Structure 1
């Protein structure tokens, strides 16, 4: 995703100061410049169509990870192909060096920036993931990370797998939106504001807001399995992608160290419950996550040393959240096992 402090867990093309600028200038997340929507009626010129589009992600990026989880839960793997970028960028942005020959096999490009430039030369902002590219033209369609997953849930329904859950149920949307707004401001964004803070007072203020919101969410989840209603919704996906990275990178690298997530009984059980749910943990790559944050943010971690910990064995231990009831997929079914 993109911000004016060059949040590289999302943005690939840093500003003129490069990665060394992280932590040395004020943090502000910018709005997505390319906000076209892929819809059932094609009103923005991009109709939902199986096989036409390619989702580009980094498994390091929490914003892109939302799309990975949604795509799995909804069973869109055959309809929306996937490109995974290298967790380490160069000065041209997210790159496809994980693929043979260093090119994405479908788009035929080496850098995601090529799809951005095909859409608009000299566009403002960075080159961010998640991004959806139109395969026939090679042009970027959208990098609107906030709307993208909502549209997968509501506009792509004709291509959902049988038994796909309703991740954004209409009767609960107002409550989901309210919960997600606080989580976005103080948790999803809050860890970055703490990690990229350029002064002590700025850091302390966002640190306090982050943990106040985590405490509030913990209290909410103490007697309910999911954030809104009794099934998984978009709100759970958005919280999960930050929580799953907390101990591995945010606790130490971003100085969000009041306590580890593993020391929070409710949140630790909640995130393990989701991690062990098909469609969540099978999209997570801790190696990509750690190497990206610790190697790319040289302004915060100039040595580039990647820590060996934390121990990951706890992620598969019993969580007992099923005792609270709830139905993960509602009237639907889990996605098929990841290939």
Structure 2
């Protein structure tokens, strides 16, 4: 992503839209152990898939490879793994799996991506559909007590709210950060904070965005809110208010952060390294800021008073598996992350 002088930011949404489904209608049937979810903890779109996979208990059915927080013009890399090679896919860059699918692949090399392990090919990088399919097509492999994140009776409302969250907030911060002119930036800024004000009003008297349980809509909003003060407020000039200065959204975000499956997947060090080191057209020095202080994420939020049942008739996920834990010092209590 780069700033285009004089232009509005326009996200490339041409994804590989092949789906992995229970009936295999696109040629890719759901099979435990066959696929690998490739993510970076820095990326908000990938973080959606990390959270959903953990909430649903799909760890045994769908393995996960984690790229490092930075990348060059070619690709995300597996520099966190020994020898810089993913131990399952045997490749140093996720780009290799894209080229296995299409040697002339012309679009962006993005995460999250799901790779077919036997063939080494990317099946899909359509992040919006990906989590919906994990919720609805992989049900045979959900853990006992997995929450229903996309209940049939609420899907229309979830879709409507999630679409507004995407256009106004998830993508809105990028429209601010990559605006190519003052006029473009100011339009994006006003639109973003109008969206955040709408969300504040909606969440003032309800614990979650849709219904009385956590749904896909909450996952989609959380991944932007958790990055807001660490990167978007300063790096992307989204600076009317910090998240900590928006009382309803700050309490809502802390509520989710303290819910198993959310905060325990967040790596603030990777988040900051990615944005400040990779976006050199915005931050030419590559200097990564020390702050903000993060201890507030663990303070009481008081949202229980609004009622609601986080997991509905289900249960929280168990502890994070040792091999998938966020490194010590990278979470809300970590010195390296700013505390």
> If the length of structure 2 is used for normalisation, what is the TM-score?
0.93
Report what 1:284 is aligned to: 266
Pick aligned residue for 1:179 from 158, 161, 166? 161
Report what 1:78 is aligned to: 60
Which residues in structure 2 correspond to 1:159-308 (within 5 Å)? Answer: 159-308=141-290
Q: Which runs of 5+ in 1 are unaligned?
A: 1-5, 7-20
* Partner SS for 2:107: coil
1:22 aligns with 2:6: no
1:98 aligns with 2:80: yes
Paired residues of 1:23 and 1:197 also in contact (CA < 8 A): yes
Once residues 33 and 264 of structure 1 are traced to their aligned partners in structure 2, the CA distance between those partners, rounded to angstroms, is 34
Report what 2:121 is aligned to: 139
Paired residues of 1:188 and 1:239 also in contact (CA < 8 A): yes
Once residues 172 and 13 of structure 2 are traced to their aligned partners in structure 1, the CA distance between those partners, rounded to angstroms, is 16
Paired residues of 1:32 and 1:145 also in contact (CA < 8 A): no
* Partner SS for 1:208: helix
Q: Deviation digits for residues 181-216 of structure 1, max 9, x if unmatched?
A: 111001000000000001011100110010001001
Paired residues of 2:72 and 2:278 also in contact (CA < 8 A): no
Once residues 19 and 72 of structure 2 are traced to their aligned partners in structure 1, the CA distance between those partners, rounded to angstroms, is 29
- CA RMSD in angstroms comes to 0.9
Report what 2:45 is aligned to: 63
Paired residues of 2:222 and 2:253 also in contact (CA < 8 A): yes
Report what 1:337 is aligned to: 319
1:44 aligns with 2:26: yes
Moved more, 84-93 or 44-53: 84-93
Pick aligned residue for 1:130 from 112, 134, 137? 112
Query: How far 1:92 sits from its partner (Å)?
Result: 2.3
Question: How many aligned positions are there?
Answer: 320
> If the length of structure 1 is used for normalisation, what is the TM-score?
0.93
